[in-house]
Amino acid sequence: MEVITKLYGPFFDLENWKTVVESGSDWMIILSLVLIECLLSVDNAIVLAAQTQVLPTKKEQEKSLFYGLWGAYVFRLLIIGLGTYLINFWEIKVLGAGYLLYLSISHFYHRLNPQKPKDSKQAKAKKRWIPLFWSVVISIEMMDIVFSIDSVLASLAISTNPVIVLIGGMIGILCMRGIAEIIMRLMKLIPELEVMAYALIGLIAVKLFLSIPMIDIEIPAAAFAAIVFGAIIVTVVINRIRH
């Protein structure tokens, strides 16, 4: 109980919240954290947008992002409290990188080897353990946990006040969800973006794996964001040429 109080006590300190809200300098730090969150979350937004595309309707896609949003807030609160120990959680990065690489390879494998439609008996025989919608929501939450590590560590390096980090993270998550929805809409207009998204997911997997302590090769967030936007521009140009 003492450990929990030490880790999460600052979140319930009203005086701390009051000081942060009334301090202009703290809000400057928060705005800096929001900017960092948006840069670090470009890859997360791509993964989310690609994952939601498997859902059949726009309503379900938006609903999955809504549930993912609230899940992200809960996990962010927990992870900030454990911030000082996050550096030891490199195993999560390895698992996340493996999962992302699986998503990318699986997508391209199925594109190159399209499955023939199964008859109704076969379709009934192969039932999902979890409904498609909830499997997408769970995938979104898993990715939120993985990507939260880098964001929280970067934020704690700027400010050790967990309330400041929490406010900056919450606003940043909202911005990131907005980016994901924009990418989703673009995917509808430009189908080639789906191929680009899964290629970038493979690159994100490599980026995440390289950042583990044993390798310690970090691709700067700004550089990766430039790669992403460059890839989007190239994909749009290819779409215009083809059509």
The residue type found at 63 is K
The residue type found at 151 is S
- Rounded to whole angstroms, what are the CA distances from 66 to 39, 140, 169, 177? 21, 10, 16, 9
User: DSSP letters of 46-98?
Assistant: HHHHHHHTTSSSHHHHHHHHHHHHHHHHHHHHHHHHTGGGGGG-HHHHHHHHH
CA distance 31 to 22: 14
Work out the angle between the directed axes of helices 221-242 and 42-52 (0-180°, nearest 10): 40
Dihedral of CA atoms 172, 177, 179, 183 in degrees, nearest 10, equals 160
Residue 118: what pLDDT? Answer: 52
Q: What is the pLDDT of residues 19-43, one digit of tens each?
A: 888 888 788 888 877 766 666 667 7
Q: Are the C-beta atoms of residues 69 and 176 closer than 8 Å to each other?
A: no
Name which of 210, 183, 207 is nearest 197 in CA terms. 183
For tokens 């215009």, the residue is 240
- Per-10-residue mean pLDDT, the chain, length 243: 65 80 82 70 76 85 84 77 62 81 88 66 56 86 75 69 80 77 80 86 85 82 78 89 84
Q: What percent of the chain has pLDDT over 90?
A: 2
Residue 93: what pLDDT? Answer: 77
Residue 86: what pLDDT? Answer: 57
CA distance 20 to 163: 8
Residue 14: what pLDDT? Answer: 83
User: DSSP letters of 105-125?
Assistant: HHHHHHHHSPPPPPPHHHHHH
Name which of 171, 154, 218, 204 is nearest 48 in CA terms. 204
- Rounded to whole angstroms, what are the CA distances from 29 to 90, 118, 155, 198? 27, 56, 10, 34
